[in-house]
Amino acid sequence: MTFPLQRPRRLRRTEAIRSMVRETRLSTRGFIYPMFVGPGSGVRVEIGSMPGVYQQSPDQLVEECREVEGLGIPGVMLFGIPEHKDERGTEASSATGVVQRAIEGIRRAKLSLIVITDVCLCEYTSHGHCGVIENGDVANDPTLGILAEEALSHARAGADIVAPSDMMDGRVGAIRRALDASSFSHIPIFSYAAKYCSGFYGPFREAAQSAPQFGDRRSYQMDPANAREALREVALDLEEGADIIMVKPALAYLDVIRQVREHFNVPVGAYNVSGEYAMVKAAVRNGWLDEQRVVLEILTGIQRAGAEIVLTYHAKDVARWLKAC
């Protein structure tokens, strides 16, 4: 019962038919737009390796959030670049920190965007690691309380969801307990459960000024070669109380997204990271790729792999393109 009885091309004959049988319908409803907030006011500096993405002060960020909401993108992820860095990342939990001020600005502007905050220390520590340093190593347990404090300060400022990205063991549980103990049991945790030690974070480190000053992150972020370990990380985070889980980066890890989607009944997010964005932008600038075509293909691929939530710097462009068609 194959050819000539079976002819798959019948269902590809017109755009109307192709559209009717399409399996994955790319939508901005699951998009999250990552943003970088720094000190001051009236500051808006484009990040060299990420054209169209800015490091900006809270007042400017609120203006861009207005635009994001107007485009129908449901949420933003905030990363802070503090005025001062120190050994323990003290500013991460400051009530007057850059992220806290940005959240308050978004709340004052009465925007209905979902405000998600990245909870980590690497942007705030002088050494650029995601935890505190003891005996020349990133110390797991002493970091947990600091992360919980940071998450709590984001919730107090008005964050809707907190997203720990540090990859310390036990941090989801520590954050959950801290939130619950302070009447924030309604705040979900969006855990970067399977975060790989990836070369694709390069441009982000420029954006967040968070490159490690010594060593690398291999002792806490995951080995790119491992997929079964990702399932273990996700299972542990869910046991500790994570509500949504994330795979990061996306493109070299589509198989991990698919496996996580098939093994767990929770919402799955994927982070289309800075290096993935920068590669597309660089090729487009050289005239080597058709931007709209490849970006839609990449994001469709990430959703097809099983991510219903996609964090992407392309979000605003895609929202404009989808509106136009």
- Active site (catalytic) residues: 195, 248
CB of 109 to Zn ion, least distance (A): 28
Alpha helices for 241-273 (secondary structure H): 254-263
CB of 124 to Zn ion, least distance (A): 9
Question: With respect to Zn ion, which residue has the nearer C-beta, 33 or 204?
Answer: 204
Find out whether 95 and 152 touch, Cβ atoms under 8 Å.
no
Find out whether 188 and 156 touch, Cβ atoms under 8 Å.
no
CB of 132 to Zn ion, least distance (A): 12
Question: With respect to Zn ion, which residue has the nearer C-beta, 184 or 192?
Answer: 192
* Cα–Cα dist 72/120, whole Å: 28
Nearest residue to Zn ion, by Cβ distance, number only: 122
Question: With respect to Zn ion, which residue has the nearer C-beta, 23 or 223?
Answer: 223
> Is 122 a binder of Zn ion (CB under 5 A)?
yes
Can you tell me which residue has the tokens 């405000």? 115
> Is 130 a binder of Zn ion (CB under 5 A)?
yes
Query: For every residue of 61-113, which 3-state class applies, written as one string?
Result: HHHHHHHHHHCCCCEEEEEECCCCCECCCHHHHCCCCHHHHHHHHHHHCCCCC
CB of 166 to Zn ion, least distance (A): 5
Question: With respect to Zn ion, which residue has the nearer C-beta, 271 or 281?
Answer: 271
E-assigned strand segments in the chain: 31-37, 44-46, 54-56, 75-80, 114-119, 133-134, 137-138, 161-164, 190-195, 244-248, 268-272, 309-312
* Stretch near Zn ion under the rule CB under 5 A, chosen from 128-136, 197-205, 271-279, 283-291: 128-136
CB of 237 to Zn ion, least distance (A): 16
Nearest Cα residue to 98 out of 35, 23, 188: 35
**DSSP codes joined into one string, 162-191:** EEE-S--TTHHHHHHHHHHHTT-TTS-BEE
CB of 298 to Zn ion, least distance (A): 24
* Stretch near Zn ion under the rule CB under 5 A, chosen from 55-63, 126-134, 270-278, 296-304: 126-134
Q: Is 56 left (phi over 0), alpha (psi -120 to 50) or beta?
A: beta
Can you tell me which residue has the tokens 């990040």? 47
What does the block give as tokens for 129? Answer: 């690691």
Per rule CB under 5 A, count of chain residues that contact Zn ion: 3
Find out whether 192 and 246 touch, Cβ atoms under 8 Å.
yes
CB of 118 to Zn ion, least distance (A): 8
* Stretch near Zn ion under the rule CB under 5 A, chosen from 4-12, 14-22, 120-128, 247-255: 120-128
Exposure on the CB side of residue 164, measured as CA atoms within 13 A: 35
Question: With respect to Zn ion, which residue has the nearer C-beta, 71 or 207?
Answer: 207
Question: With respect to Zn ion, which residue has the nearer C-beta, 153 or 303?
Answer: 153
Please pick, from the candidates 120, 146, 147, 298, the single residue that binds Zn ion as defined by CB under 5 A: 120
* Stretch near Zn ion under the rule CB under 5 A, chosen from 20-28, 117-125, 174-182, 296-304: 117-125
* Cα–Cα dist 17/10, whole Å: 9
Question: With respect to Zn ion, which residue has the nearer C-beta, 147 or 305?
Answer: 147
Can you tell me whether residue 259 is helix, strand or coil?
helix
Within positions 56 to 75, which residues make up the interface with Zn ion, using CB under 5 A? none
Find out whether 200 and 249 touch, Cβ atoms under 8 Å.
yes
> Is 147 a binder of Zn ion (CB under 5 A)?
no
| Interaction site with Zn ion (CB under 5 A) | 120, 122, 130
